[in-house]
């Protein structure tokens, strides 16, 4: 394969471009676009203008697909070109074998993308056979779509139904009891908000990107449904042989763009710091299974970063993928993300299956892209809407330690969900 790229003459933001691409795809009877917005592959956004996504039910097959990459003869640093877009749901790892409404995994190959660099320029990038002509027809279709105003699509949604606080309280207390009994150190206990939805999932995503500016936003859609993710968290980034994970653990509410005092309180919180350190160690161990001996380090520990509605504690773990291993091996060793399971991970998975009444679905899985040029990047599928027919679901939860208070954990769920439920309830007119 070879890379073809052009700078496009457009000043559209990624979210406005996405709306126009979706309108064009619908008019042509084509598959909808897929989008990554925020901080992806050193760019502001990567969008596949139209992408057919195929459900995958087996975990081993789902892990293997992003490792199937062509050789690219003239790769350019910074480019993406194309690749596999998709998600891996938490259901792939659920010991109870439960399934949500959406497929366990989906993947689709994009042979061309639009990439917005950090200077705001929009690049058309395509991967074509070495002896094939430049894809001028694809370029023309994309330029025509970007020049055509979107249909002004929106959405409507009913109020989100929450589980009873007492149900979450009891799950938290049961988890604390297991920790006190020495069964594990920490587990992530979650619940599910549900409601009705009609309209455009793409419009919901575009408006959420505009309002919330999430770092790891991702959107995929097809006949099977849609995921609309406003995640702040990186699960995995592999560039060449270098691997990085940035687990988030520790949360306090944020009431404005400035530091309202909770940022400092979070850094000084014994409970939240312990949460983060335990999961950072778990991620270090996960990467140690597939990285070269001695290469795994923690270059950044306990950094406070803002996210929509909350402050988070974030750490970074890095390593060098061992020779002979690919993305399939990397995913098999690390999925599901440690920050949304617990430590030890296997015991946490079993406890989650016993304490959470519903399948998690895509929530706490991973969404992203694997490119033969740029590598692999996946978010942690938190702050993520799952849309199936006329229903919408939002998973929410937090890490439980021996110091956890059940009511405080419920309030954390509400703080995390508040920006998303407000967005859902206030579509543009």
- Domains with residue ranges and CATH for the chain: 2-147 (no CATH), 156-362+375-425 (3.60.120.10)
CA distances from 62 to 51, 88, 161, 243, 380 (A): 17, 7, 32, 20, 16
In contact, 219 and 40? CB cutoff 8 Å? no
Residue 260 has pLDDT above 80, yes or no: no
Look at residue 150 in the predicted model and tell me its pLDDT.
80
Model pTM? Answer: 0.97
pLDDT band at residue 10 using 50, 70 and 90 as cut-offs: very high
Task: Identify the H or E element spanning 343.
Answer: strand 342-343
Catalytic residues: 233, 249
Distance CA 215, CA 40 (A): 8
DSSP tag of 291:
B
pLDDT band at residue 255 using 50, 70 and 90 as cut-offs: confident
Task: Identify the H or E element spanning 192.
Answer: strand 186-199
Q: Both tokens of residue 153? A: 């699509």
Q: What average pLDDT score do residues 221-246 get?
A: 98
Angle between helices 406-425 and 165-180 (to 10 degrees): 140
Q: Both tokens of residue 164? A: 């009873």
- What's the whole-number average pLDDT of the chain? 96
Q: Dmax of the chain from CA atoms?
A: 66
Percent of residues, the chain, with pLDDT higher than 70 = 99
Quick one: which of 309, 312, 306 has its CA closest to 421? 309
A 10 A CB-CB count for 277 gives 17
Distance CA 281, CA 245 (A): 12
* Locus of tokens 């149900």: 167
Strand pairing category for 234-239 and 242-246: antiparallel
pLDDT tens figures, 386-402: 999 999 999 999 999 99
Residue 198 has pLDDT above 90, yes or no: yes
pLDDT band at residue 258 using 50, 70 and 90 as cut-offs: low
Strand pairing category for 105-110 and 375-380: unpaired
pLDDT tens figures, 114-151: 999 999 999 999 999 999 999 999 999 999 999 998 88
φ, ψ of residue 16 to 5 degrees: the values are -70, -40
Quick one: which of 386, 382, 371, 380 has its CA closest to 85? 371
User: CB-based burial of residue 68 (10 Å sphere; 0-12 exposed, 13-18 middle, 19+ buried)?
Assistant: middle
């Amino acid at each position: 394969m070879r890379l073809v790229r052009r700078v496009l003459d457009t000043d559209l933001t990624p979210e406005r471009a996405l709306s126009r691409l979706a309108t064009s795809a619908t008019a042509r009877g084509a598959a909808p676009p897929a989008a990554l917005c925020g901080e992806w592959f050193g760019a502001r956004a990567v969008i596949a203008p139209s992408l057919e996504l195929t459900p995958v039910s087996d975990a081993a097959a789902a892990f293997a697909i992003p490792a199937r990459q062509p050789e690219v003869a003239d790769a350019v640093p910074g480019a993406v070109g194309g690749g596999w877009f998709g998600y891996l749901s938490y259901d792939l790892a659920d010991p109870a074998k439960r399934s949500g409404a959406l497929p366990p995994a989906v993947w689709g190959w994009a042979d061309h993308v639009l990439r917005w660099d950090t200077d705001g320029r929009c690049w058309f990038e395509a991967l074509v056979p070495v002896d094939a002509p430049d894809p001028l027809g694809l370029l023309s279709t994309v330029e025509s779509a970007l020049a055509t105003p979107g249909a002004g699509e929106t959405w409507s949604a009913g109020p989100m139904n929450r589980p009873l606080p007492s149900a979450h309280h009891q799950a938290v207390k049961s988890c604390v009891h297991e920790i006190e009994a020495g069964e594990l150190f920490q587990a992530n206990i979650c619940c599910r908000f549900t409601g009705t939805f009609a309209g455009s999932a793409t419009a919901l995503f575009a408006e959420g990107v505009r309002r919330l500016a999430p770092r790891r936003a991702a959107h995929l859609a097809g006949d099977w449904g849609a995921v609309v993710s406003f995640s702040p968290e990186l699960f995995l980034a592999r560039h060449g042989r270098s691997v990085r994970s940035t687990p988030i653990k520790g949360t306090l509410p944020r009431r404005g763009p400035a530091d309202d005092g909770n940022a400092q309180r979070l850094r000084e919180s014994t409970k939240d710091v312990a949460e983060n350190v335990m999961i950072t160690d778990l991620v270090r161990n996960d990467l140690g299974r597939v990285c070269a001996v001695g290469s795994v380090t923690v270059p950044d520990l306990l950094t406070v970063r803002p996210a929509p509605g909350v402050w988070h504690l974030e750490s970074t773990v890095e390593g060098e993928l061992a020779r002979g291993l690919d993305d399939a091996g990397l995913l098999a060793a690390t999925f599901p993300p440690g920050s949304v399971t617990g430590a030890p991970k296997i015991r946490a998975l079993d406890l989650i299956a016993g304490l959470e009444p519903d399948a998690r679905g895509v929530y706490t899985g991973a969404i992203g892209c694997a490119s033969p040029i740029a590598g692999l990047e996946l978010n942690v599928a938190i702050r993520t809407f799952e849309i199936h027919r006329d229903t919408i679901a939002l998973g929410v939860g937090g890490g439980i330690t021996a110091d956890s208070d059940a009511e405080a954990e419920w309030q954390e769920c509400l703080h995390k969900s508040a920006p998303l439920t407000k967005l859902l309830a206030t579509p543009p007119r």
